[in-house]
Structure formats: C-alpha cells, structure tokens
C-alpha cells in the first residue's frame, strides 16, 4: 500500500513535475510473472523515475552503506522497507551473494527486480561494463523476462555536483526482452549492456566504474 501511496500521492507527483518523463516501450512489461528490469545508472533519482513510470512495482538492490545511524538513516530504512528494496553489501563476499539470493526469491515469487548492472552511477555519462550477477540470477529463474531500459536526462535533473533537483525532461526507453541464456554469463551480460547502450546512445566501456563512497 505504501508504495502506491508514495507513487501516486506523496512523492510521485513531485518526481513527475521535475522530470516530465517521456516513456516508450511499456508494452514490453508483462502484466505478471518474473521480470528483470536492467537499466543504466546516471543519477540518484533513477530509481524514483523507474518506480514512477513502470506499470508494476519494482524492487531494487539498495546500497547497505545508506543504512547508517541517525534520522536520515532511519528514514531510508523505512522507505526501503515499505517499497521492498533489498539491501546489498557492495564489498562482495557472502553478503552480496545473500542479496542476489533474495533477488532470486523475489523473481521466483513473480516479482519485478530492478537492477543497475554497472553497479554504481556512471561518473562521466558513459556506459560501463556490467556485472554478471543480473544474468546469473535471471538464468536461475525459469521464465524470467529480462528487459533493458535506457534512462536519458536524469543526470541533468539530479546532478551529482549540487544538492537539489532541477526541472528537466527525462526519457525512459523500455526495450524488448533480451535472451541472456546463450553462451556464458559474461556473454549474456555483454549482450544485455549492448541493448541498454542502443537505447541510451552512451559510449560503451569495457571496464567497471570506480565505486563512489557514500557521503
């Protein structure tokens, strides 16, 4: 209930006013069943935009370093709880595996998992190499539909160099499903990233971005 209240009443109208999203490809999102939404990551507002425009409720991997003490941390924990986000420790190891296992359970229950395969925001607007976790999870769930999504314009609305949003125009392109089952997981991931790049027009890179530390 809280997700839909936030989307339609409390937060969504504000996000819509700032971003004025143009959406193409909603018809590619199945009405039911497991779906992986794989998008490029340009700004912190990306998750809010995806939640606003997708016809179903997406659940994200939320960076565990944001679960810090204090009022802001408590607010973030509450938002993650009511919107069904999955905390992930980006330092890797068993903690990251646990989060991916949670994403797999979500898909097996017929949910929508939204993920940024780059692992963090692009520092310069280019499209970086994708991590293979998204494909490994998708392959483990029979019938999972993998959708590439291109976000364009969110970095201008929510620039990392300043606080607060600027009003702009955001484009969200939802591509046709990508078959990530052929070849090894690296090949499937590269195919998915190429599909995302075809939607955004970003320059592709064959290495991972440097991870940002939470402020």
How confident is the model over 98-114, as a mean pLDDT?
A: 93
Say if 7 falls within a structural domain: no
Say if 96 falls within a structural domain: yes
Say if 118 falls within a structural domain: yes
Say if 44 falls within a structural domain: yes
User: Is 55:24 a contact under the CB 8 Å cutoff?
Assistant: no
Q: How confident is the model at residue 155 (pLDDT cuts 50, 70, 90)?
A: very high
- Structural domain that includes position 39: 17-200
Question: DSSP states of 55-81 as a string?
Answer: SS-EEEEEEGGG--SSHHHHHHHHHHH
CATH number assigned to the domain comprising residue 38: 3.40.1130.10
Say if 39 falls within a structural domain: yes
- Partner residues linked to 213 by β-bridges: none
- In whole angstroms, what is the distance from residue 82 CA to residue 1 CA? 8
Tokens of residue 35, six digits:
């779906």
Model pLDDT, residue 89: 63
- What is the pTM for the complete model shown? 0.90
Average pLDDT of every residue of the chain? 89
User: pLDDT for 4-54, tens place per residue?
Assistant: 999 999 989 999 999 999 999 999 999 999 999 999 999 999 999 999 999
User: pLDDT for 118-145, tens place per residue?
Assistant: 989 999 999 999 999 999 999 999 999 9
What is the tally of structural domains in the chain? 1
How confident is the model over 150-170, as a mean pLDDT?
A: 94
- In whole angstroms, what is the distance from residue 119 CA to residue 104 CA? 17
Nearest to 154 by CA among 140, 137, 171: 171
User: pLDDT for 178-204, tens place per residue?
Assistant: 999 989 999 999 999 999 999 999 999
pLDDT at 67 over 60: no
Q: How many CB atoms lie within 10 A of CB 144?
A: 21
- In whole angstroms, what is the distance from residue 155 CA to residue 162 CA? 11
**CB-based contacts of 87, cutoff 8 Å, min separation 6:** 61, 62, 63, 64, 67, 80, 99
Query: Over pLDDT 70: what percentage of the chain?
Result: 88
Residue holding tokens 């395969």? 117
- In whole angstroms, what is the distance from residue 109 CA to residue 150 CA? 26
Model pLDDT, residue 64: 63
Say if 103 falls within a structural domain: yes
- In whole angstroms, what is the distance from residue 195 CA to residue 148 CA? 6
- In whole angstroms, what is the distance from residue 80 CA to residue 92 CA? 20
Say if 85 falls within a structural domain: yes
Say if 206 falls within a structural domain: no
């Amino acid at each position: 209930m809280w997700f839909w209240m936030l989307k339609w009443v409390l937060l969504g109208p504000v996000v819509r006013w700032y971003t004025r999203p143009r959406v193409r490809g909603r018809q590619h999102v199945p009405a039911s069943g497991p779906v992986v939404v794989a998008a490029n990551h340009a700004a912190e507002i990306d998750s809010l935009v995806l939640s606003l425009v997708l016809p179903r409720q997406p659940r994200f991997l939320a960076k565990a370093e944001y679960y810090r003490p204090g009022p802001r941390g408590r607010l973030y924990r509450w938002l993650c709880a009511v919107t069904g986000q999955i905390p992930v420790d980006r330092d890797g190891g068993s903690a990251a595996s646990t989060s991916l296992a949670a994403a797999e359970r979500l898909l097996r229950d017929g949910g929508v998992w939204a993920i940024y395969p780059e692992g963090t925001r692009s520092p310069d607007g280019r499209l970086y190499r994708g991590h293979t976790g998204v494909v490994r999870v998708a392959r483990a769930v029979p019938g999972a539909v993998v959708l590439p999504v291109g976000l364009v314009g969110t970095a201008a609305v929510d620039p990392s160099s300043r606080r607060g949003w600027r009003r702009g125009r955001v484009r969200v392109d939802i591509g046709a499903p990508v078959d990530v089952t052929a070849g090894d997981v690296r090949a499937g991931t590269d195919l998915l990233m190429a599909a995302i790049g075809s939607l955004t027009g970003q320059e592709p890179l064959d290495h991972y971005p440097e991870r940002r530390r939470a402020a």
